[in-house]
């Protein structure tokens, strides 16, 4: 028999956790379904900047469990299950995993986005052996070592600064002729003696047999002990399987109430079109989507 809820939330990042918290506070039965550890991309960030209430920034591994605890306290439930498919069942939606079927009248899609892969030789084989997406996890292992960061946006800049706290030197390999990170990050990178930027560089290969020993770019090999890849984000929408039309950026189009084109389906956080891509805006989205889902369940109307 299906477990019945008012609202299912797909994804347990900051958007999904806040959606769960808000839905529970509105008196809705809500289950947050997430494919991996709750917290999403923020979980591994050493210092989330710009989140209200934390003047000096806050670590993701502190903020996310606090939010999860707050949501649980309010009555939200959690299940570590990856949503493979959303199945329509009349006016309800079902998610089935190997053990359980979860059913609800509304679903908030908050599956976020995953860091893109470079797709070069060595990347897959050396993942966890020097190739990483998590600066805060691996910086302590790279004390006094040489580190390469690939990318040119906010994430690359921010994580290079985290790594520079431990590594002897950090080089950012940027494909373009300039960083696209916000000016505030660019200024910090320029001012940091331990960080160098190489522009117009495309990585061809990650070198090493058992562990990373270097990278190859433009015909030249450079030695390094770790490679951190931040070349953009790909929205996690594969499980939607044509259920709705995605935007040109692959994200879920929504209206001002975060309603998708399909009745009962809402989207929140960086999986939706027009997301500001920040922790604060994603949390705000989660709250707004829960309020809109509550109103939908109350009135049963759509548009």
Ligand X SMILES: Cc1cc2nc3c(=O)[nH]c(=O)nc-3n(C[C@H](O)[C@H](O)[C@H](O)COP(=O)(O)OP(=O)(O)OC[C@H]3O[C@@H](n4cnc5c(N)ncnc54)[C@H](O)[C@@H]3O)c2cc1C
Rule CB under 6 A: which residues touch ligand X? 10-16, 33-36, 40-42, 45, 48-51, 82-83, 110-113, 115, 155, 158-159, 230, 236, 239, 269-271, 277-280, 282
Among candidates 75, 61, 69, 68, which has minimal Cα distance to 17? 68
- In the complex, what is the shortest distance from the CB of residue 48 to ligand X, in angstroms, rounded to a whole number? 4
- In the complex, what is the shortest distance from the CB of residue 149 to ligand X, in angstroms, rounded to a whole number? 10
Cβ-based nearer residue to ligand X, 162 or 171: 162
Q: How far is residue 134's CA from residue 121's CA, in Å, rounded to a whole number?
A: 20
Q: How far is residue 196's CA from residue 64's CA, in Å, rounded to a whole number?
A: 32
- In the complex, what is the shortest distance from the CB of residue 301 to ligand X, in angstroms, rounded to a whole number? 27
Which residues sit opposite 4 in a β-bridge? 103
Cβ-based nearer residue to ligand X, 207 or 233: 233
Q: In what order do the strands lie in the sheet with 169-173?
A: 131-132, 226-229, 146-150, 169-173, 195-198
Q: How far is residue 196's CA from residue 34's CA, in Å, rounded to a whole number?
A: 38
Cβ-based nearer residue to ligand X, 155 or 171: 155
Q: How far is residue 128's CA from residue 124's CA, in Å, rounded to a whole number?
A: 9
Cβ-based nearer residue to ligand X, 61 or 239: 239
DSSP 286: H
- In the complex, what is the shortest distance from the CB of residue 68 to ligand X, in angstroms, rounded to a whole number? 11
Q: HSE-up of 54 (CA within 13 Å, CB side)? A: 14
Q: How far is residue 136's CA from residue 45's CA, in Å, rounded to a whole number?
A: 6
Cβ-based nearer residue to ligand X, 41 or 201: 41
- In the complex, what is the shortest distance from the CB of residue 198 to ligand X, in angstroms, rounded to a whole number? 20
- In the complex, what is the shortest distance from the CB of residue 109 to ligand X, in angstroms, rounded to a whole number? 9
Asked whether 13 and 39 are in contact (CB, 8 A), the reply is yes
Cβ-based nearer residue to ligand X, 10 or 197: 10
């Amino acid at each position: 028999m299906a477990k019945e809820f008012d609202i299912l939330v797909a994804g347990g990042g900051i958007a999904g956790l806040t959606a769960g918290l808000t839905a529970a506070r509105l008196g809705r039965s809500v289950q947050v379904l997430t494919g991996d550890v709750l917290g999403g991309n923020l979980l591994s960030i050493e210092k989330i900047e710009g989140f209200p209430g934390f003047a000096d920034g806050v670590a993701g591994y502190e903020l996310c469990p606090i939010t999860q605890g707050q949501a649980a306290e309010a009555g939200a439930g959690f299940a570590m299950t990856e949503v493979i498919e959303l199945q329509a069942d009349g006016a309800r939606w079902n998610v089935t995993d190997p053990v359980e079927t979860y059913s609800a009248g509304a679903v908030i899609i908050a599956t976020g986005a995953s860091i893109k892969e470079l797709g070069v030789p060595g990347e897959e084989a050396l993942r966890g052996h020097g190739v990483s997406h998590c600066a805060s996890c691996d910086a302590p292992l790279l004390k006094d070592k040489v580190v390469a960061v690939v990318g040119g946006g906010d994430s690359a800049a921010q994580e290079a600064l985290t790594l520079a706290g431990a590594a002897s030197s950090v080089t950012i390999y940027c494909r373009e002729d300039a960083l696209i990170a916000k000016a505030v990050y660019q200024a910090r990178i320029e001012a940091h003696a331990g960080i160098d930027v190489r522009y117009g560089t495309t990585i061809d290969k990650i070198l090493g047999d058992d562990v990373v020993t270097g990278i190859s770019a433009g015909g030249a090999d450079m030695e390094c002990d770790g490679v951190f890849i931040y070349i953009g984000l790909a929205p996690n929408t594969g499980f939607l399987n044509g259920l709705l039309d995605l935007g040109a950026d692959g994200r879920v189009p929504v209206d001002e109430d975060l309603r998708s084109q399909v009745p009962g389906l809402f989207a929140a956080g960086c999986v939706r079109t027009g997301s500001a891509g920040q922790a604060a805006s994603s949390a705000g989205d989660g709250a707004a989507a829960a309020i809109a889902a509550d109103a939908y369940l109350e009135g049963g109307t759509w548009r």
